[in-house]
Amino acid sequence: MNLEEYKGVYVFAQQVDNEISSIAFELLGKAKDLAKDLNTDVTAVLIGSGVKGLADQLAEYGADKVIVVDDPELKDYRTEPYAHALASVINKYKPEIMLVGATAIGRDLGPRVSARVATGLTADCTVLEIGDFPLQAVPGQEQLHNQLLMTRPAFGGNTIATIACPYNRPQMATVRAGVMQKITPIKGAKANVEEFNPGFTPDNKYVEILDIVKAVTNTVDIMDAKILVSGGRGVGSPENFKILEDLAEVLGGTVSCSRAVVDSGWKPKDLQVGQTGKTVRPNVYFAIGISGAIQHVAGMEESDIIIAINKDADAPIFDVADYGVVGDLNKIVPKLTEALKAEIAAAK
Protein backbone atom coordinates (compact mmCIF):
# COMPACT_ATOMS: atom_id res chain seq x y z
CA MET A 1 0.00 0.00 0.00
CA ASN A 2 1.54 3.28 -1.10
CA LEU A 3 0.16 5.65 1.53
CA GLU A 4 1.18 8.73 -0.45
CA GLU A 5 -1.39 7.91 -3.12
CA TYR A 6 -4.25 8.49 -0.68
CA LYS A 7 -5.54 12.07 -0.63
CA GLY A 8 -8.51 14.01 0.60
CA VAL A 9 -11.07 13.84 3.38
CA TYR A 10 -14.18 11.86 2.43
CA VAL A 11 -17.55 11.70 4.14
CA PHE A 12 -20.25 9.06 3.66
CA ALA A 13 -23.30 11.29 3.11
CA GLN A 14 -26.01 9.10 4.60
CA GLN A 15 -29.51 9.57 3.20
CA VAL A 16 -32.70 7.79 4.17
CA ASP A 17 -35.79 8.05 1.95
CA ASN A 18 -33.76 10.47 -0.21
CA GLU A 19 -33.37 12.89 2.65
CA ILE A 20 -29.84 13.60 3.84
CA SER A 21 -29.33 12.66 7.48
CA SER A 22 -28.15 15.41 9.82
CA ILE A 23 -25.03 13.37 10.64
CA ALA A 24 -23.79 13.89 7.05
CA PHE A 25 -23.75 17.67 7.54
CA GLU A 26 -22.04 17.28 10.92
CA LEU A 27 -19.33 15.13 9.36
CA LEU A 28 -18.82 17.67 6.57
CA GLY A 29 -18.27 20.37 9.22
CA LYS A 30 -15.53 18.31 10.86
CA ALA A 31 -14.11 17.21 7.49
CA LYS A 32 -13.61 20.87 6.56
CA ASP A 33 -11.44 21.43 9.66
CA LEU A 34 -9.38 18.33 8.95
CA ALA A 35 -9.01 19.20 5.26
CA LYS A 36 -7.76 22.67 6.20
CA ASP A 37 -5.05 21.17 8.43
CA LEU A 38 -4.04 18.79 5.65
CA ASN A 39 -4.31 21.40 2.90
CA THR A 40 -6.71 19.20 0.93
CA ASP A 41 -10.40 19.19 0.04
CA VAL A 42 -13.64 17.58 1.20
CA THR A 43 -15.55 15.00 -0.81
CA ALA A 44 -19.02 13.70 0.03
CA VAL A 45 -19.97 10.22 -1.17
CA LEU A 46 -23.69 10.11 -1.89
CA ILE A 47 -25.12 6.61 -2.36
CA GLY A 48 -28.74 5.83 -3.24
CA SER A 49 -31.34 5.73 -5.96
CA GLY A 50 -32.41 9.02 -7.54
CA VAL A 51 -30.23 11.01 -5.14
CA LYS A 52 -28.20 13.22 -7.50
CA GLY A 53 -30.41 16.23 -6.77
CA LEU A 54 -29.20 16.21 -3.14
CA ALA A 55 -25.63 17.13 -4.10
CA ASP A 56 -26.18 20.91 -3.82
CA GLN A 57 -27.20 20.57 -0.18
CA LEU A 58 -23.92 18.81 0.54
CA ALA A 59 -22.08 21.65 -1.19
CA GLU A 60 -23.85 24.19 1.02
CA TYR A 61 -22.60 22.34 4.09
CA GLY A 62 -18.99 22.23 2.96
CA ALA A 63 -18.42 19.56 0.31
CA ASP A 64 -16.00 20.66 -2.43
CA LYS A 65 -16.78 17.56 -4.45
CA VAL A 66 -19.64 15.05 -4.45
CA ILE A 67 -19.29 11.54 -5.83
CA VAL A 68 -22.74 10.15 -6.63
CA VAL A 69 -23.34 6.41 -6.85
CA ASP A 70 -26.88 6.12 -8.12
CA ASP A 71 -28.47 2.75 -8.86
CA PRO A 72 -31.92 1.16 -8.36
CA GLU A 73 -30.26 -1.54 -6.21
CA LEU A 74 -29.45 1.21 -3.71
CA LYS A 75 -33.01 2.35 -3.05
CA ASP A 76 -33.24 1.26 0.60
CA TYR A 77 -30.19 0.54 2.72
CA ARG A 78 -28.85 -2.99 2.41
CA THR A 79 -25.37 -3.88 3.57
CA GLU A 80 -24.01 -5.46 0.41
CA PRO A 81 -24.83 -3.04 -2.38
CA TYR A 82 -23.90 -0.09 -0.15
CA ALA A 83 -20.65 -1.74 0.95
CA HIS A 84 -19.83 -2.50 -2.69
CA ALA A 85 -20.56 1.12 -3.63
CA LEU A 86 -18.45 2.66 -0.87
CA ALA A 87 -15.58 0.16 -1.15
CA SER A 88 -15.46 0.75 -4.93
CA VAL A 89 -15.29 4.52 -4.38
CA ILE A 90 -12.42 4.00 -1.90
CA ASN A 91 -10.52 1.73 -4.29
CA LYS A 92 -10.92 4.12 -7.19
CA TYR A 93 -10.48 7.53 -5.54
CA LYS A 94 -8.12 6.56 -2.66
CA PRO A 95 -9.14 8.91 0.16
CA GLU A 96 -6.74 9.37 3.08
CA ILE A 97 -9.64 9.79 5.53
CA MET A 98 -13.13 8.26 5.33
CA LEU A 99 -15.72 9.39 7.89
CA VAL A 100 -19.00 7.54 8.47
CA GLY A 101 -21.83 8.33 10.90
CA ALA A 102 -22.12 5.98 13.88
CA THR A 103 -25.76 5.33 13.03
CA ALA A 104 -27.63 2.03 12.64
CA ILE A 105 -26.55 2.20 8.99
CA GLY A 106 -23.00 3.45 9.49
CA ARG A 107 -22.16 0.97 12.25
CA ASP A 108 -23.02 -1.84 9.80
CA LEU A 109 -21.57 -0.32 6.65
CA GLY A 110 -18.32 0.94 8.23
CA PRO A 111 -17.02 -2.42 9.52
CA ARG A 112 -18.04 -4.28 6.36
CA VAL A 113 -16.24 -1.75 4.14
CA SER A 114 -13.16 -1.49 6.36
CA ALA A 115 -12.76 -5.28 6.25
CA ARG A 116 -13.19 -5.25 2.46
CA VAL A 117 -10.56 -2.59 1.83
CA ALA A 118 -8.37 -4.03 4.63
CA THR A 119 -7.94 -1.00 6.81
CA GLY A 120 -8.62 -0.03 10.41
CA LEU A 121 -11.85 1.47 11.68
CA THR A 122 -12.29 3.36 14.92
CA ALA A 123 -15.84 3.36 16.26
CA ASP A 124 -17.91 6.13 17.81
CA CYS A 125 -15.26 8.85 17.83
CA THR A 126 -15.94 12.03 19.77
CA VAL A 127 -12.78 13.96 18.81
CA LEU A 128 -10.95 13.92 15.48
CA GLU A 129 -7.77 15.87 14.91
CA ILE A 130 -4.63 15.86 12.84
CA GLY A 131 -1.37 15.13 14.66
CA ASP A 132 1.70 12.97 15.04
CA PHE A 133 1.98 9.25 15.70
CA PRO A 134 3.50 8.41 18.12
CA LEU A 135 2.34 11.55 19.91
CA GLN A 136 5.88 12.06 21.23
CA ALA A 137 8.94 11.03 19.27
CA VAL A 138 10.28 7.62 20.33
CA PRO A 139 13.91 6.67 19.62
CA GLY A 140 14.12 4.03 16.91
CA GLN A 141 10.60 4.61 15.63
CA GLU A 142 9.76 7.01 12.84
CA GLN A 143 7.31 9.67 13.99
CA LEU A 144 4.63 10.09 11.33
CA HIS A 145 3.00 13.46 10.76
CA ASN A 146 -0.43 14.47 9.49
CA GLN A 147 -2.11 11.42 10.97
CA LEU A 148 -5.78 11.26 11.89
CA LEU A 149 -5.96 10.96 15.66
CA MET A 150 -9.29 9.48 16.68
CA THR A 151 -10.44 9.80 20.28
CA ARG A 152 -13.24 7.63 21.59
CA PRO A 153 -14.74 6.59 24.86
CA ALA A 154 -14.77 2.93 25.83
CA PHE A 155 -15.90 0.98 28.82
CA GLY A 156 -19.20 2.77 29.03
CA GLY A 157 -17.45 6.11 28.80
CA ASN A 158 -14.98 5.42 31.62
CA THR A 159 -11.85 5.27 29.57
CA ILE A 160 -10.78 7.49 26.72
CA ALA A 161 -8.47 6.23 24.03
CA THR A 162 -6.79 8.08 21.18
CA ILE A 163 -6.24 5.82 18.20
CA ALA A 164 -4.28 6.17 14.98
CA CYS A 165 -4.21 4.09 11.81
CA PRO A 166 -0.65 4.88 10.71
CA TYR A 167 0.17 2.18 8.15
CA ASN A 168 -3.14 1.60 6.36
CA ARG A 169 -5.38 3.82 4.26
CA PRO A 170 -7.94 5.17 4.36
CA GLN A 171 -8.03 6.08 8.02
CA MET A 172 -11.64 5.27 8.82
CA ALA A 173 -13.78 6.46 11.71
CA THR A 174 -17.42 6.38 12.68
CA VAL A 175 -18.69 9.41 14.58
CA ARG A 176 -21.72 9.66 16.81
CA ALA A 177 -24.57 11.97 15.87
CA GLY A 178 -24.68 15.27 17.71
CA VAL A 179 -20.95 15.45 18.45
CA MET A 180 -19.53 17.44 15.51
CA GLN A 181 -20.71 20.90 14.46
CA LYS A 182 -22.30 21.69 11.11
CA ILE A 183 -21.19 24.87 9.40
CA THR A 184 -23.68 27.62 8.63
CA PRO A 185 -24.83 26.64 5.15
CA ILE A 186 -23.37 28.68 2.31
CA LYS A 187 -26.40 29.45 0.14
CA GLY A 188 -25.89 28.74 -3.52
CA ALA A 189 -22.60 26.88 -3.04
CA LYS A 190 -21.89 24.35 -5.78
CA ALA A 191 -19.73 21.26 -5.64
CA ASN A 192 -17.96 19.45 -8.41
CA VAL A 193 -20.35 16.52 -8.95
CA GLU A 194 -19.05 13.27 -10.37
CA GLU A 195 -21.16 10.20 -11.08
CA PHE A 196 -19.67 6.76 -10.62
CA ASN A 197 -21.31 3.38 -10.94
CA PRO A 198 -19.21 0.29 -10.17
CA GLY A 199 -21.96 -2.07 -11.43
CA PHE A 200 -24.22 -4.10 -9.17
CA THR A 201 -24.66 -7.85 -9.67
CA PRO A 202 -26.92 -9.38 -7.03
CA ASP A 203 -25.50 -12.49 -5.33
CA ASN A 204 -26.12 -14.37 -2.06
CA LYS A 205 -25.05 -11.30 -0.07
CA TYR A 206 -27.91 -9.19 -1.48
CA VAL A 207 -30.62 -9.66 1.11
CA GLU A 208 -34.26 -9.13 0.24
CA ILE A 209 -36.30 -6.47 2.05
CA LEU A 210 -39.78 -7.93 2.55
CA ASP A 211 -41.24 -5.01 4.46
CA ILE A 212 -40.35 -1.64 5.97
CA VAL A 213 -42.16 -0.75 9.17
CA LYS A 214 -41.75 2.81 10.36
CA ALA A 215 -42.03 3.47 14.07
CA VAL A 216 -44.57 6.00 15.21
CA THR A 217 -42.48 9.12 15.10
CA ASN A 218 -42.04 11.03 18.25
CA THR A 219 -42.10 14.64 17.15
CA VAL A 220 -39.33 15.93 19.41
CA ASP A 221 -35.87 14.46 19.18
CA ILE A 222 -34.41 14.31 22.69
CA MET A 223 -31.01 15.23 21.24
CA ASP A 224 -32.38 18.67 20.35
CA ALA A 225 -34.09 19.36 23.68
CA LYS A 226 -32.82 22.16 25.91
CA ILE A 227 -34.48 20.69 28.99
CA LEU A 228 -34.88 16.96 29.53
CA VAL A 229 -36.93 15.39 32.29
CA SER A 230 -35.63 11.86 32.36
CA GLY A 231 -37.16 8.98 34.27
CA GLY A 232 -35.83 5.62 35.36
CA ARG A 233 -37.21 2.45 36.82
CA GLY A 234 -37.80 4.34 40.07
CA VAL A 235 -40.74 6.14 38.45
CA GLY A 236 -42.54 2.86 39.06
CA SER A 237 -44.99 2.56 36.19
CA PRO A 238 -45.70 3.89 32.71
CA GLU A 239 -48.72 5.77 34.09
CA ASN A 240 -46.58 7.55 36.65
CA PHE A 241 -44.53 9.17 33.87
CA LYS A 242 -47.44 11.65 33.81
CA ILE A 243 -45.82 13.58 36.68
CA LEU A 244 -42.61 13.88 34.63
CA GLU A 245 -44.56 14.98 31.57
CA ASP A 246 -46.25 17.69 33.63
CA LEU A 247 -42.89 18.94 34.87
CA ALA A 248 -41.47 18.92 31.35
CA GLU A 249 -44.45 20.85 30.04
CA VAL A 250 -44.07 23.66 32.58
CA LEU A 251 -40.41 24.10 31.61
CA GLY A 252 -40.94 23.63 27.88
CA GLY A 253 -38.89 20.47 28.07
CA THR A 254 -39.12 16.90 26.84
CA VAL A 255 -39.37 13.57 28.60
CA SER A 256 -36.62 10.99 28.11
CA CYS A 257 -35.77 7.82 29.98
CA SER A 258 -33.20 5.21 30.97
CA ARG A 259 -32.67 1.84 29.37
CA ALA A 260 -34.53 0.02 32.16
CA VAL A 261 -37.67 1.93 31.18
CA VAL A 262 -37.35 0.92 27.54
CA ASP A 263 -36.59 -2.68 28.48
CA SER A 264 -39.76 -2.72 30.59
CA GLY A 265 -41.74 -1.51 27.59
CA TRP A 266 -42.83 1.73 29.32
CA LYS A 267 -41.34 4.09 26.73
CA PRO A 268 -40.12 3.74 23.14
CA LYS A 269 -36.44 3.31 22.35
CA ASP A 270 -36.07 6.71 20.71
CA LEU A 271 -36.45 8.34 24.14
CA GLN A 272 -33.60 6.33 25.66
CA VAL A 273 -30.54 8.17 26.93
CA GLY A 274 -27.27 6.31 27.30
CA GLN A 275 -24.65 4.22 25.67
CA THR A 276 -27.10 2.10 23.69
CA GLY A 277 -29.52 5.01 23.32
CA LYS A 278 -28.82 8.64 22.55
CA THR A 279 -26.16 11.02 23.76
CA VAL A 280 -27.73 14.22 25.01
CA ARG A 281 -26.36 17.51 26.29
CA PRO A 282 -29.28 19.72 27.29
CA ASN A 283 -29.02 22.86 29.41
CA VAL A 284 -30.79 21.07 32.23
CA TYR A 285 -31.10 17.32 32.75
CA PHE A 286 -33.42 16.04 35.44
CA ALA A 287 -32.57 12.45 36.41
CA ILE A 288 -35.63 11.23 38.28
CA GLY A 289 -35.65 7.74 39.75
CA ILE A 290 -32.54 6.91 37.72
CA SER A 291 -29.83 5.05 39.60
CA GLY A 292 -27.13 6.17 37.19
CA ALA A 293 -25.53 3.06 35.71
CA ILE A 294 -22.41 4.15 33.88
CA GLN A 295 -24.00 3.28 30.55
CA HIS A 296 -26.63 5.90 31.31
CA VAL A 297 -24.17 8.46 32.61
CA ALA A 298 -22.12 8.12 29.41
CA GLY A 299 -25.10 9.49 27.49
CA MET A 300 -25.89 12.53 29.66
CA GLU A 301 -22.85 13.63 31.66
CA GLU A 302 -22.08 16.50 29.27
CA SER A 303 -25.36 18.21 30.22
CA ASP A 304 -24.82 21.74 31.56
CA ILE A 305 -26.78 21.24 34.78
CA ILE A 306 -27.73 17.85 36.17
CA ILE A 307 -30.41 17.65 38.84
CA ALA A 308 -31.02 14.23 40.38
CA ILE A 309 -33.92 13.11 42.51
CA ASN A 310 -33.59 9.64 44.00
CA LYS A 311 -34.63 8.00 47.24
CA ASP A 312 -31.39 6.03 47.45
CA ALA A 313 -28.72 8.34 48.88
CA ASP A 314 -26.01 6.02 47.56
CA ALA A 315 -27.27 5.96 43.96
CA PRO A 316 -24.32 6.58 41.59
CA ILE A 317 -26.31 9.30 39.79
CA PHE A 318 -25.36 11.59 42.70
CA ASP A 319 -21.71 11.21 41.68
CA VAL A 320 -22.38 13.20 38.51
CA ALA A 321 -25.27 15.42 39.61
CA ASP A 322 -24.64 19.12 40.20
CA TYR A 323 -27.64 19.20 42.51
CA GLY A 324 -28.75 15.99 44.16
CA VAL A 325 -31.94 15.66 46.14
CA VAL A 326 -32.44 12.55 48.23
CA GLY A 327 -36.14 11.95 48.52
CA ASP A 328 -39.38 10.49 47.20
CA LEU A 329 -39.96 11.56 43.62
CA ASN A 330 -43.72 11.01 44.01
CA LYS A 331 -43.82 13.66 46.72
CA ILE A 332 -41.30 16.07 45.22
CA VAL A 333 -42.02 16.13 41.47
CA PRO A 334 -45.72 17.17 41.54
CA LYS A 335 -44.94 19.89 44.08
CA LEU A 336 -42.01 21.06 42.00
CA THR A 337 -44.28 21.36 38.97
CA GLU A 338 -46.77 23.46 40.94
CA ALA A 339 -44.02 25.66 42.40
CA LEU A 340 -42.50 26.27 38.97
CA LYS A 341 -45.91 27.09 37.52
CA ALA A 342 -46.35 29.73 40.23
CA GLU A 343 -42.83 31.11 39.71
CA ILE A 344 -43.28 31.38 35.96
CA ALA A 345 -46.73 32.97 36.31
CA ALA A 346 -45.32 35.49 38.80
CA ALA A 347 -42.46 36.40 36.47
CA LYS A 348 -44.82 37.32 33.66
Partner 1 sequence: MKIVVCVKQVPDTAGGVKFNPDGTLDRGAMLTIMNPDDKAGLEAALRLKDQYGAEVTVVTMGLPKAEEVLREAMAMGADKGVLVTDRVLGGADTWATSTTLAGAIRNLEYDLIITGRQAIDGDTAQVGPQISEHLNIPVISYAQDIKIEGDSVVVERQYEDRYHVVKAKMPCLITALSELNEPRYMTPGGIFDAYKQEITVWGRADLKDVDDSNLGLKGSPTKIAKASDKVRKGAGEKVSLDPDESVSYIVDKLKVKHVI
Q: Which of residues 81-110 bind partner 1 (CB under 8 A)?
A: 83, 103-105, 107-108, 110
Rg of the chain, C-alpha, whole Å = 23
Q: Which of residues 238-297 bind partner 1 (CB under 8 A)?
A: 251, 262-263, 269-270, 275-276, 283-284, 293-295
3-state secondary structure of 4: helix
Residue 104 has what DSSP assignment? Answer: T
When asked if residue 129 is in the footprint of partner 1 (CB under 8 A), the reply is no
Does residue 134 contact residue 45 with C-beta atoms inside 8 Å? no
User: β-strands 227-231, 284-288: how paired?
Assistant: parallel
CB 113 within 8 A of CB 134: no
| Residue 236 binds to partner 1 (criterion: CB under 8 A) | no
Binding mask 163-192 for partner 1 (x = CB under 8 A): xxxxxx------------------------
Task: Tell which one of 208, 219, 239, 348 touches partner 1 (CB under 8 A).
Answer: 208
- Contact between 137 and partner 1 by CB under 8 A: the answer reads no
Q: Give me the least distance between CB of 194 and partner 1, in Å please.
A: 27
Q: Taking CB under 8 A as the rule, does residue 162 contact partner 1?
A: yes
Would you give the DSSP letter of residue 255? E
120 binds partner 1 (CB under 8 A): yes
Q: Which of 137, 109, 135 is nearest to 123 (CA)?
A: 109
State which residue, 193 or 233, has the beta carbon closest to partner 1: 233
Residue 129: C-alpha distances to residues 58, 115, 171, 180 (Å): 22, 23, 12, 12
173 bridge partner residues? 99, 122
Contacting range for partner 1; rule: CB under 8 A; set: 39-47, 92-100, 183-191, 213-221: 213-221
Rounded Cα distance between 57 and 230, Å, is: 35
Nearer Cβ to partner 1, position 139 or 188? Answer: 139
Q: Which of residues 47-86 bind partner 1 (CB under 8 A)?
A: 76-80, 83
